[in-house]
Amino acid sequence: MLRKYLILLSTLALSLSTSFAQKQYKVVCVAFYNFENLFDTYDMPGKNDVEFTPDGANHYTEEIYLEKIDHLATVVSKIGMDVTPDGAAIIGVCEIENRKVLEDFVRHPKIADRNEQIVHFESQDFRGIDNALLYQEKYFKVHSSDTLLMISRISGTDTSYSRHILVVEGTMDGDTVAITVNHWPSRRGGEQATRHLRNRAAQQNRDVVDRNNARGIKTIVMGDLNDDPVNESVSKILRAGPSTKKMRSGEMYNPYYDFYKRGMGTTAYRDAWSLFDQIILSSNFVRKTDGFRFHRAEVFNEPWLTQKLGTYKGYPYRTYSFGSYIGGYSDHFPVYVFLIKEIH
């Protein structure tokens, strides 16, 4: 157990040395992955999920469902394994239908030995998809969890809601850490016409961060934001930027800003890449601090996760293409960061 948890960084990519001796660090991998429509095969009353049933438009059978879970488990089983033998200790996910699909997922043989725990609430999203957090208890202990309603449309007295923002607070080896898991309203109808919805979601996250800053609590904002790091919602309202040295009070650090500027993305549409999937950290993760601090960010974009043929060649290898099952993984790449804590 100790060998798995305490990692001598001279044997890994995180090596940091002094003139006298090498330091040892605890390492935690934190990830986010859009599961792209992980539905069960049943038509649930009150949910717009008919297309993901055997008789629906996608002819979504139990065989496809189980293969979808196997593919997602394959991906999750490999994230962060180049650095820590336990892989992703915490992973936020979106586009899941209910708790049942998560229970089926965490029981898959490729990840079952991690004993992943689940935090999930049903949202009021019209498609019936939710956000959730999976975690390994040896790394993270949950103290509380809740959701924030996220409005998707207001028309007179009629209000519609999108995926709730999941807020989870717990401890990570003595550090109190809050995590928000997000799937902000899409750009359907136009980026400008829907911008105010994502700006509102960003403000809800910003309010959580401000409250936590006042309490001395570290915060991680993660999710499919449907905006890039340079968009107003992220850069101005959430106040997340690329600098770790010139951060002003209350600002957040977004390691994916530089990824975006280098032309990298996590999802593609009409031959253009977007980096909607991000993990953003409060300043107390990057300034000199006791406890866990940010070390490195990655996009998990292995070649086998990329579509090789067809209209979406070069894109993330998706599950369906124009209504036909093609056996991929997701239309998004996962993202992940390493947090490290020196062992004194």
DSSP states along 196-255:
HHHHHHHHHHHHHHHHHHHHT-EEEEEEE-SS-TTSHIIIIIS-EES-SSSPPTT-EE-T
pTM: 0.93
- Using a 10 angstrom Cβ sphere, with 0-12 exposed, 13-18 middle and 19 or more buried, the burial of residue 44 is middle
What's the pLDDT at 127?
Answer: 86
* CA-wise closest residue to 13 among 340, 247, 292: 340
What's the pLDDT at 139?
Answer: 97
195-209 burial, b at 16+ Cβ within 10 Å, e below that, comes to bebbbbbbebbbebb
Which pLDDT band, with edges at 50, 70 and 90, does 9 fall under?
very low
Which pLDDT band, with edges at 50, 70 and 90, does 4 fall under?
very low
* CA-wise closest residue to 296 among 124, 84, 85: 84
* CA-wise closest residue to 286 among 253, 248, 258, 312: 253
What's the pLDDT at 13?
Answer: 42
pLDDT of 295-344, one tens digit each? 999 999 999 999 998 888 899 999 998 889 999 999 999 999 999 998 87
d(CA 200, CA 223) in angstroms, rounded, equals 15
- pLDDT, mean of residues 93-114: 98
Greater confidence (262 vs 11) lies with 262
pLDDT higher than threshold 70 for residue 21: no
The continuous run of DSSP H or E covering 74 comes out as helix 62-78
pLDDT of 211-269, one tens digit each? 999 999 999 999 999 999 999 999 999 999 998 888 888 899 999 999 999 999 999 98
What's the pLDDT at 157?
Answer: 62
- pLDDT, mean of residues 17-26: 62
Structure tokens at 211: 């409250």
Q: What percent of the chain has pLDDT over 70?
A: 92
Mean pLDDT taken over the chain: 91
> Between 62-78 and 99-106, two packed helices, what is the crossing angle to 10 degrees?
60
- CA–chain centroid gap for 134, Å, is 10
CATH superfamily of this structure's domain 26-342: Endonuclease/exonuclease/phosphatase (3.60.10.10)
Contacts of residues 120-124 at CB distance under 8 Å and 24 or more positions apart, as own/partner, are: 120/96, 120/166, 121/145, 121/147, 121/164, 121/166, 122/98, 123/147, 123/161, 123/162, 123/163, 123/164, 124/149, 124/160, 124/161, 124/164
For residue 211, give the amino acid letter: R
pLDDT of 282-304, one tens digit each? 999 997 678 999 999 999 999 99
What's the pLDDT at 219?
Answer: 98
pLDDT higher than threshold 50 for residue 92: yes
Rg (CA), the chain: 20
pLDDT of 194-217, one tens digit each? 999 999 999 999 999 999 999 999
d(CA 219, CA 136) in angstroms, rounded, equals 18
- CA–chain centroid gap for 280, Å, is 10
- Strands 175-183 and 218-224 turn out to be parallel
Which pLDDT band, with edges at 50, 70 and 90, does 78 fall under?
very high
d(CA 224, CA 266) in angstroms, rounded, equals 10
Domain boundaries, the chain: 26-342
Lowest pLDDT segment from 55-64, 121-130, 165-174: 121-130
In degrees and rounded to multiples of 5, residue 203 shows phi and psi of -65, -35
Residue written as tokens 């899409």? 186
Which pLDDT band, with edges at 50, 70 and 90, does 26 fall under?
very high
